[in-house]
Amino acid sequence: MNQRISLLASVGVALSLTSMSCGLEPEEEKIPFGYDRDFDYLSVLKSSPEYAFEPTQGYPNLTYQDPANDSLIELRTAYDLDTVAGAGDDLSKIFNLLRWAHQSLRHDGARVGPEQENSLSILQYHDEAGNGVNCVMMAIVLNEAYLAMGLKSRVIHGNARDWVFNGEWHAFNAVYSYTLNKWVFIDPTNQAYFTDDNGTPLSVAEIRDFLRRDIPLHLNDDADYNGSPLDAGDYVHYLSKNLYRFSSTVHSAFGNYWMFHLPEGADRAYFHLDPANEAQQGLGVATNYFTSNPDYFWKQP
């Protein structure tokens, strides 16, 4: 049975996520570096402007690497991902690969990871150096495992509103399920996903909307952080900070996220989704496309 999370109340556990607001205007806020457990991120998310749904003619299409890529084949073979994924439907494969990635890696937000930011290097670095890796590295590993198995997947960079941002953000995955005909939110750092009251897995966009409208959602029971059970209320509070705006690469492929170690001559291109009139700065040394049209950012592959 999943953990039922209501922003009004939960079964057996009160989850008061809106009671910590300090009531100051944005320019008066004093927010420490990192994640502040006492800050009312949810109210900030609820106050977000709506999306503009502006035209996006001339923007490139989001693309996904073919599983026949040599590096993806190497990953699939080296880690026997066919066995890991199993023979079930795409949802079964999505969750099996989530558990594999989560259990193969330990999270350490203070570690940048290897210079080559791809799944093979990250897994080797983790095993040989004995170091944990940050959320970006974990999302890269899972993203490339999904691509290797023919699933359309993206690393999503989730961030706060501009005046709330203080150097802390979160990376997770959006993977497309043809069984559900929609994207599904997957967090390998916390082995986490959400469902609605009917048990249907939720997309990133749906989770954001549920939080804004106080609609109950359910965290999977086996969600955990480095082997410790994940507290549903704390996790929702944390995500309410990092579901304000989003970024992802234009082309989802092996070794192309390049967040910390930028190779010489790298051709980086990113899409950014923001509320109306709140375009973010984008990533440096990159081609940045900005939109306030969620239909474009989350369109079917």
Structure tokens belonging to residue 129: 């150096």
Alpha-carbon distance 178 to 260, whole Å?
Answer: 33
Rounded to the nearest integer, the mean pLDDT of the chain is 86
pLDDT at 266: 67
Q: What angle do CA 147, 247, 253 make, to 5 degrees?
A: 25
Confidence band of 263 (pLDDT split at 50, 70, 90): low
Q: Which residues contact 107 (CB under 8 A, 6 or more apart)?
A: 132, 133, 134, 135, 138, 189, 225, 226
pLDDT at 291: 94
Helix (H, G, I), strand (E, B) or coil at 10: coil
Pairing assessment for the beta strands 182-186 and 170-177 based on DSSP bridges: antiparallel
Alpha-carbon distance 16 to 12, whole Å?
Answer: 13
Confidence band of 124 (pLDDT split at 50, 70, 90): very high
Do 60 and 143 contact (CB within 8 A), yes or no?
A: no
pLDDT at 165: 66
Alpha-carbon distance 160 to 280, whole Å?
Answer: 10
Averaged pLDDT, 148-156: 98
Residue with more model confidence, 3 or 260:
260
**Per-residue pLDDT for 28 more than 60?**
no
Q: What percent of the chain has pLDDT over 70?
A: 83
pTM: 0.88
What total of structural domains would you count in the chain?
1
**Per-residue pLDDT for 114 more than 90?**
no
**Per-residue pLDDT for 7 more than 50?**
no
Residue with more model confidence, 24 or 198:
198
* CA–CA distances in Å: residue 40 to residues 25, 219, 241: 13, 21, 9
* CB atoms closer than 10 angstroms to residue 220: 20
For residue range 158-188, list pLDDT tens digits in order: 999 886 666 778 999 999 999 999 999 999 9
Averaged pLDDT, 258-286: 78
Structure tokens belonging to residue 72: 């993806």
Structure tokens belonging to residue 118: 């791809």
Structure tokens belonging to residue 49: 């402007």
Structure tokens belonging to residue 161: 């509103």
For residue range 53-111, list pLDDT tens digits in order: 999 988 999 999 999 999 999 999 999 999 999 999 999 999 999 999 999 999 998 88
Alpha-carbon distance 200 to 195, whole Å?
Answer: 5
Residue 182: name the closest of 197, 196, 162, 168 by CA: 196
pLDDT at 61: 92
For residue range 199-246, list pLDDT tens digits in order: 999 999 999 999 999 999 999 999 999 999 999 999 999 999 999 999
Give me the domain span that covers residue 209: 3-297
Question: What size, in residues, is the chain?
Answer: 301
pLDDT at 115: 76
Q: What percent of the chain has pLDDT over 90?
A: 70
Name the maximum alpha-carbon separation found in the chain. Answer: 55
Give strand pairing partners of 287. Answer: 269
Alpha-carbon distance 155 to 249, whole Å?
Answer: 8
